[in-house]
């Protein structure tokens, strides 16, 4: 089955309305961080205050995501995501009220953290739905689930390109408060729509019937995958910081968002293409080689000295980001019990967010010392660490992914690989 046929079949199972709603529902999370930064910065005249508030939102969201994911596993996404969508929209409105009231920016920081804690992680939760959705497709299911995860990875990347762009448009046309109000309204409408969609019912019915000890959630394989995601989050944070420093030095700080979006463009294209990779190429092996690609393609950042030179480097670097992330999320779905899949997906998302904060903070410190090149060195270092982790822990991932009783086959890299599972929908 070609990637095009896989995507056509997937979208036929859910209907195109669900695809649109699930995509729009994840946009507010991508909009809220930049929207908060611009809102608080304009109101206080301090980018430092805006950065603290935006960071509080991001870190609180990362810390709260596993809790909400576990609750969705137990109670179903309808209840959990509906509450998060409405409460999260209310949290963003509270940020607007606090800032508009002229209270000290510390109050805005608290309000931002509360809003971040409530915002739902739609992307990871959408991934949980695909195995139950494809339950009746027989032997095609493993391939369709892989294609679904490829699509979700590309959709996440696209949302984090378009989300900030919508904020920028809202600020240009109206004001920072209008941009954040748009995010709140979109979350209340599309987040709730996503929560109440019929696919949420099928997902809860499948996962509630599945058995699996919760303790397996934080097994060795998932810990390795969390570290892998933390490192790619570090790549995001350090690239954005380095690009901001370079653009500011060039006298065009407003171009930072557009240049960072180049990373997402390459990532979206490559993410959609992952569905065409041969099934016999094992996921642990893919992770190793995508990590190696991340390191190799990040290295030219150390040679960049101007904004024009940065364009091709970011476009090409993005081609390894989505495949790397798609592989980690797909592996997580394979190695965790169905009863804990939502928690696993949100744990990985949380690790990515924490990695972003680490990368931005470390790159910022180094940039104060030596400019954009030391900041980009953090990106290269994260790529190197990803290579070490993926190769050093290869056996952990291979043992966790291989279905019981299935002998290894050989993948294109010459490594042992599991045969694709034809397990029913209630098995991970």
Report the chain's C-alpha Rg in angstroms: 21
Mean pLDDT per 10-residue section of the chain, whose length is 428 residues: 79 89 92 84 78 84 87 85 95 95 90 94 88 83 85 84 76 81 95 91 61 57 93 88 83 73 83 83 92 96 92 91 90 82 85 84 84 92 96 89 43 40 33
Pick from 414, 231, 397, 410: which is nearest to 320 by CA? Answer: 231
CA triplet 62, 348, 86: central angle to 5 degrees? 45
pLDDT of 95 reads: 95
3-class secondary-structure state, position 44: helix
What is residue 279's DSSP assignment? T
Pick from 4, 168, 183: which is nearest to 92 by CA? Answer: 183
- Please write down the HEC assignment for all residues of 47-114: HHHHHHHHHHHHHHHHHHHHHHHHHHHHHCHHHHHHHHHHHHHHHHHHHHHHHHCCCCHHHHHHHHHH
CA dist 335 and 224 (Å) reads 11
The topology (CATH level 3) of 1-209 is Growth Hormone; Chain: A; (1.20.1250)
CA dist 311 and 330 (Å) reads 30
CA dist 30 and 220 (Å) reads 30
Predicted TM-score (pTM) of this structure: 0.77
CA dist 155 and 4 (Å) reads 16
CA dist 122 and 130 (Å) reads 13
CA dist 348 and 174 (Å) reads 35
Q: How far is CA 66 from CA 15, 36, 163, 280, 303, in A?
A: 29, 23, 23, 32, 39
3-class secondary-structure state, position 318: helix
CATH code assigned to 217-428 = 1.20.1250.20
CA dist 32 and 389 (Å) reads 32
In 234-255, which positions are buried (b, 16+ CB within 10 angstroms) versus exposed (e)?
A: bbbbbbbbbbbbbbeeeeeeeb
CB 3 within 8 A of CB 144: no
Sign of the dihedral defined by the CA atoms of residues 56, 90, 47, 321, in that order = positive
For 261, phi and psi rounded to 5 degrees? -65, -25
Cβ contacts of residue 173 below 8 Å, gap of 6+? none
pLDDT of 217 reads: 58
Q: Between the CA atoms of 233, 235, 237 and 239, what dihedral angle is there, to the nearest 10 degrees? A: -160
pLDDT of 86 reads: 96
List, by residue range, all CATH 1.20.1250.20 domains of the chain.
1-209, 217-428
CA dist 408 and 415 (Å) reads 9
CB 156 within 8 A of CB 226: no
User: Quick one: residue 45, left, alpha or beta (phi over 0 = left, psi -120 to 50 = alpha)?
Assistant: left
pLDDT of 216 reads: 53
pLDDT of 407 reads: 37
Q: How far is CA 70 from CA 65, 67, 128, 170, 269, in A?
A: 9, 5, 12, 34, 31
């Amino acid at each position: 089955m070609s990637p095009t046929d896989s995507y056509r079949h997937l979208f036929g199972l859910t209907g195109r309305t669900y695809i649109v709603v699930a995509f729009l529902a994840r946009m507010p999370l991508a909009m809220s961080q930049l929207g908060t930064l611009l809102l608080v910065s304009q109101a206080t005249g301090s980018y430092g205050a805006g950065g603290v508030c935006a960071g509080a939102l991001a870190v609180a969201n990362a810390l709260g995501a596993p809790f909400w994911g576990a609750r969705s596993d137990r109670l179903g996404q309808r209840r959990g995501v509906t509450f998060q969508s409405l409460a999260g929209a209310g949290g963003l409105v509270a940020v607007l009220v606090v800032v508009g009231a002229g209270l000290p920016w510390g109050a805005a920081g608290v309000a931002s953290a509360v809003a971040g804690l409530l915002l739902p992680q739609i992307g990871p939760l959408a991934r949980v739905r695909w195995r139950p959705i494809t339950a009746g497709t027989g032997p095609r299911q493993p391939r369709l689930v892989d294609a679904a995860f490829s699509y979700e990875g590309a959709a996440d990347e696209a949302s984090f390109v378009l989300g900030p762009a919508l904020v920028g448009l809202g600020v240009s046309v109206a004001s920072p408060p209008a941009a954040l109000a748009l995010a709140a309204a979109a979350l209340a409408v599309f987040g709730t729509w996503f929560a109440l969609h019929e696919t949420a019912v099928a997902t809860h019915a499948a996962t509630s019937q599945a058995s699996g000890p919760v303790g397996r959630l934080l097994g060795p394989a998932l810990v390795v995958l969390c570290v892998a995601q933390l490192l790619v989050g570090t790549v995001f944070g350090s690239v954005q910081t380095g690009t901001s420093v370079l653009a500011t030095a060039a006298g065009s700080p407003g171009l930072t968002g557009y240049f960072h979006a180049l990373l997402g463009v390459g990532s979206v294209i490559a993410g959609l293409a992952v569905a065409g990779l041969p099934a016999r190429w094992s996921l642990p092996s893919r992770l190793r080689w995508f990590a190696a690609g991340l390191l190799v393609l990040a290295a030219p950042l150390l040679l960049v000295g101007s904004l024009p030179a940065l364009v091709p480097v970011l476009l090409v670097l993005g081609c390894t980001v989505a495949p790397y992330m798609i592989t980690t999320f797909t592996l997580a779905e394979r190695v965790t019990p169905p009863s804990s899949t939502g928690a696993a997906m949100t744990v990985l998302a949380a690790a990515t967010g924490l990695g972003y904060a680490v990368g931005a903070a470390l790159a910022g410190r180094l940039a104060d010392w030596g400019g954009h090149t030391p900041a980009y060195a953090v990106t290269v270092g994260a790529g190197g660490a990803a290579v070490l982790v993926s190769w050093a822990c290869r056996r952990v991932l291979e043992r966790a992914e291989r279905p019981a009783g299935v002998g290894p086959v050989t993948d294109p890299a010459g490594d042992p690989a599991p045969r694709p599972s034809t397990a029913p929908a209630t098995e991970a």
